[in-house]
Amino acid sequence: MAEAKTQITEVVPADFIAGVEPEAKREEAKNIDALFRKITGEKPQMWGPSIIGYGQYRTTYASGRDVHWMRAGFSPRKARHSLYLMGGYCDDIAAKRRDELLAKLGKYTTGKSCLYINKLADVDMGVLEQMITSDWEAMQRKYPES
């Protein structure tokens, strides 16, 4: 099997965040980082050139593909923040909770396992904290640390 393209790098997440433009996006990235650190208790690592990840896990899909990936994370992209919240997609309890919380979150879009937010002012930060917490707990249930 081929290695995943996105791997952990030696880049310091705080250094990456310091280079995020524009300044408003950089300040929001600092707030998102602080929120993930508070919830996960993890020190972040850079995954590839632009994803900040918290924790990691390994699994093998039914197809036989081995996966090494972050438990949660985000990327402060120029247009919008991409939050990687996989727990709601691999755990029925978290999926139900995610749907309930999305109804209260505010302005967002979603992708396969991403939550996209243009700016933090568009969402209820308390609801976002609950979403990240629920997702983190789901990942801990589904992929307990060994």
Query: What pTM was computed for the model?
Result: 0.92
Q: Please report, rounded to a whole number, the percentage of residues in the chain having pLDDT higher than 70.
A: 97
Longest dimension (CA), the chain: 43
Q: How far apart are CA 133 and CA 100, in angstroms?
A: 14
The 10s digit of each residue's pLDDT in 115-134 is 999 999 999 999 999 999 99
Q: Where would I find the H helices in 2-124? A: 13-18, 23-40, 87-90, 92-105
The 10s digit of each residue's pLDDT in 73-104 is 999 998 999 999 988 777 888 888 999 999 99
Q: How far apart are CA 105 and CA 44, in angstroms?
A: 25
- Does residue 11 carry a pLDDT above 90? yes
State the amino acid at position 41 in one-letter form.
Answer: G
